[in-house]
Chains A and B, each alone.
Chain A
């Protein structure tokens, strides 16, 4: 059974550019969440998508956005990149429906460096 696949693994972008990261969840999982990990702030929740709808959102500026497709694959986009956006971006896939929590499987992450 394939795990959670995130692409690309590494990315270097220039300040002011935008970037799109991709996540393919485990087959059958309809929930995809995104997390940002930095040395200073640790692991922080960005947003969760379930059946193509954003269900939950963390405290990040509007430059961070995402979407989910009908096959449950998800993308997140960061516009007008800042140096502080340099981080490891982790995607988590879950069977989670409503009022249930079946746990989360994480991908290997995309390491974004903004120069």
Chain B
């Protein structure tokens, strides 16, 4: 069975500080996808990144960066120089690839509060 663990339930930082969100996953599949989503107060899940299990390259997108380490089953997310607009709940998710259909297994989420 798949499982995603986000050990940090809430992180509070002051604007311009860096913040790293941890994500650890479990799966028996060799082919899978990992995702990060942002959920602002409006409720919609906003897609941030998708990474397949064969691509361990780290990725940077503006102030966002992701560190995928298959050896430790982790897919951590860092926000550099945080801003108030980064305040939201962030979810890490895992998806298998199966002919019978796909589904996302979500972690419990990490609430990030950026104070001015």
Chain A residues with a Cβ under 8 A of chain B: 31, 33, 35, 42-45, 48, 50, 55-56, 58, 88, 90, 92, 94, 96, 98-101, 103-109, 111
Contacts and interface: CB of A to CB of B under 8 A. Distances in A.
Contacts of B45: 90, 92, 106
Interface string B94-113: 01011111111111110000
B109 to A, nearest CB: 7
A92 B39 CA distance: 14
B55 interface: no
A100 B97 CA distance: 6
Interface string B31-58: 0010101000011111100101000000
Contacts of B106: 35, 42-44
B44 A109 contact: yes
Nearest to A100: B97
B44 A106 contact: yes
B91 interface: yes
A29 B104 CA distance: 17
A48 B91 contact: no
Given A88-B43, A103-B50, A106-B45, A45 B98 contact: no
A108 B102 contact: no
Contact of A108 (B42, B91, B104): B42
Interface residues on B, range: 20 to 34
28 contacts: A31-B102, A33-B103, A42-B106, A42-B107, A44-B106, A45-B103, A48-B101, A56-B101, A58-B103, A88-B43, A92-B45, A94-B102, A96-B102, A98-B99, A101-B33, A101-B52, A101-B95, A101-B97, A101-B102, A103-B35, A103-B47, A104-B47, A105-B47, A106-B44, A106-B45, A107-B44, A109-B43, A111-B43
Contact of B102 (A35, A43, A48): A48
B91 A43 contact: yes
A107 B47 CA distance: 11
